[in-house]
Every structure is written in C-alpha cells, then in structure tokens.
Amino acid sequence: MSDWLWLIPGSPLAGAAATALLGGALRPSTAARIATLAMLVCAVAVAALWATGGTGGAARQTLYTWMAVGDWQATMGLRVDRVSLVMVSVASWVGFLIHLFSLSFMAEDYGERRYYVFLNLFVAGMLLFVMADNLLLMYLGWELMGLCSYALISHWYRDGAKARCGRKAFVVTRIGDAALALAIFLLYTHFGTLGFEPLLGAVSSSHDDTTLLGWIAVLVLIGAAGKSAQLPLSVWLPDAMAGPSTVSALIHAATMVTAGVYLIARLHPLFEAVPQILELVAVVGALTLVYAGLAALGQHDIKRLIAYSTISQIGYMFLGLGVGAYGLALFHLATHACFKALLFMGAGVVINAYQGDHDIRKMGGLAQGQPYLRLVFLAGSLALAAVPFISAGFYSKDPIIEAAAVAPHGGLLWSLAILGAVLTGAYAFRLYLMVFHGPQRGETVPYRMSWSMRLPLGLLALASLTLGFVELPHGWHLPQLWSPWLAPEVGAPELPHGGGGVLLQLAGMVAPLAGIALAFSIVRRERAGGGTSTVGVLAQGGYLDTVYDLLIVRPYFGLARALRTLVESWSLNGLALGSVVSLIRGGNRLLSMTQNGNAARYASLMVLGAVLMVGYFLWIR
C-alpha cells in the first residue's frame, strides 16, 4: 500500500544525483528535462497518495535503519499524515510548476546543471523534512535545505555581492539550526526517543517539568524563526533575492520558509504544554507581520518588496500557530505557496521585460505589452491582498485574524493583524499599480513567454483565486472541508461566534480594501517622485541590517582580526613555530658545515678524531 512512499523524496534525489554524476556528459537542456521529469514523478506519486491514502490514517514506510547505538536507533522512516500531506503536496506540486517554469526561464544562463542539481536536491530536502518520522531525519532534510538555499541564492556567484547574500542567508539560518539542534539534544536526553509519535505522546503526558519544556520550545521557536525569517532573524530573506526569480519562488513558496511553520505545527503538543511560549509564537508572528508589511511599503526593488511580503505572510502563519489555529496556518501556507510562487515567477518575467531592472519606480504601463502576465499578476496580487470573496488569500487569512481576536491578549494581536491586513493591501497593489498601470515608462523589450512558462502561471493563478473555496468562513453555514479534515491531527481552531464574529469578519473584509484605496494615493505620490520609498526607515527595513552590522558583524570581524594578529601571527607563527624553525635551520647549518666536499677538511677532521681518541685512551682512561 505505502511501500512506494520512498518515491516522493527519492525521485528528486535521484534526479539531482543523475545530473550531478553525469555532469559534463549532459547538455544543459537535458539536465533541465531530467530535473523536471524527476519532479513530475514526485508530483504524480503525491497525487497517487491522495487517491489512495489521503483520507485514511498515516501512511508509513521504514526504509532501513540509519544508525543504531545500543538500544537506540534512528531509522530512515517516512510517515505521511494529513498535516505532512499538505506540505508534501505544496512542495511537490508547486515545486514541479517552478521546475517547469525554469525550463525556458533559465535557458540562457550559465551554470544550469548546478542550478538543477541544487533545485532538485532542495525539493528532496523539503520532502525528507516533512515526511521524516523522527527528529533526526527531519534535521537532515532541514540542513539539506540550508545548504541548497546557500548554493542557489549565490547562483550567480561571479557577482561578489550576490555571493555575499548567499553567505548571509547561510549564516543567519545557521543560528536557528544550532538552536534546533540543541532542542533535539534536550528532547533526547529528557525523553530518550526522537520518533514523533512516542515523543509527542511523552510530552503531552508529562506535566512535571515545564521549565525544561519551555526552554526546548523556545529553542524550537528560534530554529523555526531562523528558517522562516521571523523577527529577529528575518534579515536574510530580503537579501535572498540575489538568486534567480525561480529560486526565490521555490524558497518562498514551496520550501524553506514554510519549514518553520511546519516544524511548530508538527511539534504543537510541545508548545501546548507550555502555553506562554505558544503566546510568544503569536507575538513574534504579529510583530513580524506588521514590521515586514511596513518595510514592504518602502521597497522599490520588486523582488525585495515581494520578499518582505513573504515575511509578513509567514508572520500570519506564526500568528495562526500561536493562537492554536494550526489547521488555518497550514491553509494559509498552502494558498500563500500558490500566490507567492506566482508573484515571484511573474516578477522574474517583469525584470526580464525591463532588461534586468528591479526598480519599480522606473516601471509602468506594462499591461499593454504583457496582457497575460498582467492578468495572472493581478490574480496573485488579489490573493496576497486577501480581497474578500474572490481570492483564496481572504479565506485563509481572515480566519487567522478572527482566531487571534479570541486568543489571550486577543485585542493586541487582532489590532496588529488587522493593521497588517491594511498594509498588505497597500503594498500588494502599490506593486501591481506601479508596474502594470499608469503611463508607459522605462525601456521594455518584447519578452515572449513559452507555454512552459504560461502554464504554471495560469495554474497558480487559478489556484490563487479558487483554492479558498475548500474552507468557506465558518459563520456562513456552508460546507467546510479543510478544518474538519485536519481536525483529527491538530484539533479545531477556536473562532468567535455570534454578533462579534460577524463584526470581526466585516472588519477583515474592509481592511484589505482600505489598503488598496491607500495604495492608489501612495502610487500617485510615488509617480511624482515622493511616496513611501523615500521614507528611510521603511526603505531600509527598520535599519535592522544596520543595527546587526554594528552590534554583531563588526565586533565579530574585529575580534577575528585581533585573533589573527595577536594569536596567529605573533604567538603561533612568530614565537612557537619560529623557534622550532630556527632551531632546525641552525642545526642544519652546523651539520652541513662539516660536509663541504673539501678532502683536506675531511682529512683534518679524521686527524682530529684520531688524536682525540688516542688521547682519550692514553690519558683519560
């Protein structure tokens, strides 16, 4: 029944291995086809999983024992329940569409084989991460994504600034990785197991030691925040734009940043055992979504703007997790994956149409040149802004905002979330209007999209508009599919009822529209040379990078430089190594003086030796 589960992470892995091993023997277009084919196999396998086991219990398959120490063993075990099925579907289907889009989008680039190896490996890492049945295997996938994100962000490594962005992403996420590793160590020492089912059972039944559980939960939260670019570790994501647009789509939609959300959803019994940390998750999410929303308003680089919008939307997911609405967070994750992949790939086409220019202040009126792109981009923007009734974003985001209202400290969380909704509408339509409407500006080239680019964009646009209908708002007495389906795994969210609920829903509908109205006036000012991109604090993302640079990066570099001079150069090389070297050198010189090839010298030394020996035997002995 489920003995082909290995195919899901296995086929992208095999694709990556094939491209990496065959290497130079393949033409770049062949490598692209292999990678896309591997993803197609994976996507079909996931579809088959839906058809056979999607509604039943958890499907599982143990491939082999990875390592065994004494009684303890870590298995290569795969497990798919409904929560991970959502993630697997997002990663494989959206991942496949991104691969399909890459076929012609990346066709005239350098390093395609490297690109496709890491792209495939990235999806394999994500699938391994969500399908693992124990924390150790999960961590393997987690690290695999860290590596691949580094390699893909610095794909155009010949540009030093882009290579630096890759390093930044790697180092910042590494902070979270280290925290997650510590959390895993603590969980193992305390509970003696890393398998999810025994571990979470043990966590829910132990009520004695909440201090330790609290620390573990905090460490998991730091890990998730690092991967998902939440405050205070959000700084890497805007710079992750250095990679190709398709890589941004993959990182932002199908993989990587959603890993933190899944991690918390998977470990939710741990967080429920320590409710104050769960509230911390909600607070982190709420603060991040407002911060990133404000920062997005100030961006003029099209990809940085969308990147900040990702941070903001992940903030909504964290808010949903923090108020206990795990199913809704996953729902928003799925819809977000669709519209964010769409927006990023669309942005890639926009950038190509403007000959590599990222600055939306120099764009305008692209709707005439690219009518198809304009339509799908509009669909993505509607979903991002969560326009009521017609977009999937509304059905997934609005319940999270409502659920925040009834949580502890609900007033604060709800106000932040509704403020974020206004901001979302404003920045989403600021982007859309700046690029596609108004007078034609900037130098454009006619850029024809092939069918392999149009098809993914069209499918994602369709999903961005219609995916929401699987979960209609709860007060409407209409069928709901998503929450009841996920309820056995993560429980049902608590939502407001009665008249208050209706008012909250109305507020959730008005907020994005208010934001869009705001966008029109911002865009008018922006075209006149003013607008939000001239506000320094917004454009610089709250000066967070500057602060980190001053507080952490510079002191660290100073420390490294001091150590290099004092310890390495002077103490080690100068004193310790230098004395040994000069000792050997001096001895060498002394001994080689006796062997100078001069026969008379040898003879006199022999005489000297003979005299000394004779003298010794005659007088001293």
Q: For residue 11, how many C-alpha atoms fall within 13 Å in the half-sphere facing its CB?
A: 20
Q: Which is nearer to other proteins, 448 or 589 (CB)?
A: 589
Q: Which is nearer to other proteins, 607 or 612 (CB)?
A: 607
**CA dihedral (20, 87, 400, 207) positive or negative:** negative
Q: Which is nearer to other proteins, 439 or 597 (CB)?
A: 597
What type of residue sits at position 187?
Answer: L
Q: Which is nearer to other proteins, 600 or 620 (CB)?
A: 600
Q: For residue 434, how many C-alpha atoms fall within 13 Å in the half-sphere facing its CB?
A: 32
Q: Work out how close the CB of 6 gets to other proteins at its nearest, in angstroms, rounded to a whole number.
A: 53
The three-point CA angle 114-243-310 to 5° equals 130
Q: Which is nearer to other proteins, 389 or 617 (CB)?
A: 617
Q: Which is nearer to other proteins, 275 or 587 (CB)?
A: 587
Q: Which is nearer to other proteins, 362 or 585 (CB)?
A: 585
Q: Rounded to an integer, what distance in angstroms lies between the CA atom of residue 250 and that of residue 122?
A: 9
Among 607, 612, 613, 614, binds other proteins (CB under 8 A): 607
3-class secondary-structure state, position 595: coil
Three-class DSSP labels, 366-386: HHHHCHHHHHHHHHHHHHHHC
Q: Work out how close the CB of 600 gets to other proteins at its nearest, in angstroms, rounded to a whole number.
A: 6
Residues of this chain, 29-68, that bind other proteins according to CB under 8 A: none
Q: Which is nearer to other proteins, 205 or 594 (CB)?
A: 594
Residue 359 bridge partners (DSSP): 301
> What's phi and psi for 62, nearest 5 deg?
-100, 120
Q: Rounded to an integer, what distance in angstroms lies between the CA atom of residue 587 and that of residue 176?
A: 53
> What's phi and psi for 531, nearest 5 deg?
80, -175
Q: 537-576 mask for other proteins (x: CB under 8 A)?
A: ----------------------------------------
- Look-up of token digits 């509607």: 382
Q: What is the dihedral of CA 184, 188, 191, 197, to 10 degrees?
A: 60
Q: Rounded to an integer, what distance in angstroms lies between the CA atom of residue 105 and that of residue 124?
A: 22
Q: Rounded to an integer, what distance in angstroms lies between the CA atom of residue 63 and that of residue 45?
A: 17
Q: Rounded to an integer, what distance in angstroms lies between the CA atom of residue 574 and that of residue 584?
A: 15
Q: Work out how close the CB of 596 gets to other proteins at its nearest, in angstroms, rounded to a whole number.
A: 8
CB burial of residue 64 (10 Å; 0-12, 13-18, 19+): exposed
Q: Which is nearer to other proteins, 524 or 585 (CB)?
A: 585
Q: Which is nearer to other proteins, 440 or 604 (CB)?
A: 604
- Contact in structure between 143 and 136 (CB atoms under 8 Å): no
Q: Which is nearer to other proteins, 550 or 581 (CB)?
A: 581
What b/e string do you get for 595-604 counting C-beta neighbours within 10 Å, with b at 16 or more?
Answer: eeeeeeeeee
Cα 235 to its chain centre, rounded Å, is: 12
Q: Work out how close the CB of 617 gets to other proteins at its nearest, in angstroms, rounded to a whole number.
A: 17
Q: Work out how close the CB of 598 gets to other proteins at its nearest, in angstroms, rounded to a whole number.
A: 6
Q: Rounded to an integer, what distance in angstroms lies between the CA atom of residue 78 and that of residue 489?
A: 17
End-to-end CA distance of the chain: 96
Q: Which is nearer to other proteins, 549 or 568 (CB)?
A: 568
Angle, helix 160-191 to helix 196-205, in steps of 10 degrees: 60
Q: Which is nearer to other proteins, 506 or 577 (CB)?
A: 577
What own/partner pairs with CB < 8 Å and gap ≥ 24 does 541-549 have? 541/235, 541/238, 541/295, 541/298, 541/308, 542/291, 542/294, 542/295, 544/232, 544/234, 544/235, 545/235, 548/235
Q: Work out how close the CB of 581 gets to other proteins at its nearest, in angstroms, rounded to a whole number.
A: 8
Residues of this chain, 576-605, that bind other proteins according to CB under 8 A: 589, 592, 595, 597-600, 603-604
Nearest to 299 by CA among 546, 549, 547, 536: 536
What type of residue sits at position 251?
Answer: I
- Contact in structure between 157 and 166 (CB atoms under 8 Å): yes
Number of residues in contact with other proteins, rule: CB under 8 A? 10
Q: Work out how close the CB of 155 gets to other proteins at its nearest, in angstroms, rounded to a whole number.
A: 36
Q: Work out how close the CB of 603 gets to other proteins at its nearest, in angstroms, rounded to a whole number.
A: 5
- Look-up of token digits 């697997």: 88
Q: Which is nearer to other proteins, 1 or 590 (CB)?
A: 590
Residues of this chain, 303-322, that bind other proteins according to CB under 8 A: none
Residues of this chain, 173-202, that bind other proteins according to CB under 8 A: none
Query: Two tokens at 32?
Result: 């692209």
Q: Which is nearer to other proteins, 562 or 606 (CB)?
A: 606
Q: Work out how close the CB of 199 gets to other proteins at its nearest, in angstroms, rounded to a whole number.
A: 54
What type of residue sits at position 369?
Answer: G
Q: Which residues bind other proteins (CB under 8 A)?
A: 589, 592, 595, 597-600, 603-604, 607
